[in-house]
Amino acid sequence: MEYRNLGRTGLKVSELCMGTMQFGWTADEDTSLQILTKSYEAGINFFDTADVYSRWAEGNPGGVAESILGKWLRTQKIPRDQVVLATKVRARVGEGPNDEGLSRTHIFNAVEGSLQRMGTDYIDLYQAHSVDASTPIDETLTAFDDLIRQGKVRTIGCSNYPAWRLMRALWTSDKLGLARYDSLQPHYNLVNRAEYERELAEVCATYGLGVIPYSPLAGGFLTGKYRKGDSPDSARLGGVRRYFNDRNGSLLEKMEKLGREKGNFSISQVALGWLLTNPYITSPIIGPRNLEQLEDNLGAVGLRLTQEEVEMLNTASAWRDG
């Protein structure tokens, strides 16, 4: 397993990050704990969660994924300094008017809940889950800066930020002498490229942000199991239908062929390898819901594509403005 710097920070993180959105949703607690143990044994030291995971699932009040992560750390006696814990704040986690957003009040309340559920004294990477246009960016960044000064947070990042808001945040940090976002968590994969590549990629490269893409397999579409006219029942089927077109069908065929030629790699492993080959990508966030999917994801560790292979996939999945 290769370990990489998280942006400008000194944190060393594994080339794959274990996401936990499926915990308490499509993976029950026992399965989730097994996934965590197997991933750690395989060399993964980077774990991403959020206080809201997965509130949308029936019977899940939110905070469940953080609680499962905390139980795993406690019961397996995982040395705290051997893992990098990342969580997020922004989404609604209660019913009150201050139970969502990026206000100082909500951030200070939310961080205490996350620390308690994970059973830790500090969070390695605390991320703004998405933009809160109703809160001044200097209020948000000052709150994050204070948490770093208090020792409750090591570094901060953001997710789902457009380039102009990310630049505004970086400028505000520089102007006011506050901690700055050192990572970005974008929605990025072979069938969703423009959102990151259009402007965010250059911002991240220029200012040295770590990039930890979520949904690297496009909700399962880039595993090849979802095909137009032939798809299994799944909680994520509705979300991947948008990718059902002839162009993406052809892309899957090219990925399947490339995987065979490189040594019997699966379509999903090729999708992860495409990201891992990009020098500006830190750690794609995988989200297996069972051990079989985890084993497949781990098969991408160390996979690097040639320049010609990358160009072939880029051409097959190229995006255009307009």
Q: Distance between CA atoms of 41 and 213, rounded to whole angstroms?
A: 23
Which residues of 153-300 form beta strands (DSSP E)? 153-159, 181-185, 210-211, 285-286
Write down the catalytic residue from 40, 53, 226, 243. Answer: 53
DSSP classification of residue 27:
B
- Residue corresponding to tokens 């065929």: 253
Q: Distance between CA atoms of 268 and 259, rounded to whole angstroms?
A: 9
Q: Distance between CA atoms of 147 and 153, rounded to whole angstroms?
A: 6
8 Å CB contact between 210 and 34: no
Q: Distance between CA atoms of 275 and 310, rounded to whole angstroms?
A: 10
Q: Which of 148, 290, 270, 150 is nearest to 216 (CA)?
A: 270
Helices 291-298 and 267-277 cross at an angle (nearest 10°) of 50
226 assigned to active site? no
Q: Which active-site residues does the annotation give? A: 53
